[in-house]
């Protein structure tokens, strides 16, 4: 696969990922069913209900309030795109420099070969 192809695959992955990330999550079930027993009622995991350390990250399956979820797809998309672009650009620059050095090396070897034959 050439460099352009790899860029295309990376771009498509990013596009797919950001689209998936923007999909709204299922609304949290906050209102308990009055008919259900207390032990059958859905439990919403809130930061205060987990036993994680205070200074650590606290995951939630469903946020208690939808407005608590900070909409930041543009920032996340930009960050991921930058990582991909930076890595591919760097790999491309190494590949280009390697090709240049290889050509130079071959030219010098030819010169050295010619020089040794003439002397």
Partner 1 sequence: MKRFFVPLVLLAGAMFVYAPFMILGAPYESTMGLVQKIFYFHAPVAMTMFLAAFVCGIASALYLFRRNKEADHIAVAAAEITVVLGSIVLVTGPLWARKAWGIWWDWEPRLVSTLVMWLIFVAYLLLRRYGGPGSERLGAGVAIFGMVNVPFVYWSVNLWRTLHPKTSVVPTLPPGLRGPFWFCVLGFIVVFVLILHVRTELERRRAAVEELYLALEE
* 93 three-class SS: helix
Among 7, 17, 28, 44, the residue binding partner 1 under the rule CB under 8 A is 17
Does the footprint of partner 1 cover residue 102 (CB under 8 A)? yes
Element (H, E) at 10: helix 3-22
Instruction: Tell me the C-alpha distance between 52 and 71, whole Å.
Output: 24
Instruction: Tell me the C-alpha distance between 62 and 38, whole Å.
Output: 19
State the minimum distance, in angstroms, from the CB of residue 37 to partner 1.
Answer: 27
Among 3, 8, 30, 86, the residue binding partner 1 under the rule CB under 8 A is 86
Q: Are the C-beta atoms of residues 21 and 74 closer than 8 Å to each other?
A: no
Instruction: Tell me the C-alpha distance between 32 and 45, whole Å.
Output: 14
Does the footprint of partner 1 cover residue 33 (CB under 8 A)? no
Does the footprint of partner 1 cover residue 30 (CB under 8 A)? no
Site residues, partner 1 (CB under 8 A): 13-14, 16-17, 20-21, 25, 46-47, 50, 52-53, 55-61, 63, 68-73, 75-76, 78-80, 82-83, 86-87, 90-91, 94, 97-98, 101-102, 104-105, 108-109, 111-112, 115
């Amino acid at each position: 696969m050439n460099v352009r192809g790899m860029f295309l695959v990376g771009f498509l992955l990013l596009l797919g990922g950001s689209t998936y990330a923007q999909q709204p999550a299922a609304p949290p079930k906050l209102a308990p069913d009055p008919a259900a027993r207390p032990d059958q009622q859905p439990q919403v995991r809130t930061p205060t209900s987990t036993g994680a350390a205070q200074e650590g990250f606290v995951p939630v399956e469903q946020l208690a309030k939808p407005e608590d979820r900070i909409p930041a797809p543009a920032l996340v998309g930009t960050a991921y795109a930058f990582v991909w672009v930076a890595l591919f650009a760097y790999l491309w620059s190494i590949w280009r420099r390697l090709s240049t050095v290889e050509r130079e090396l071959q030219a010098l070897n030819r010169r050295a070969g010619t020089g040794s034959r003439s002397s």
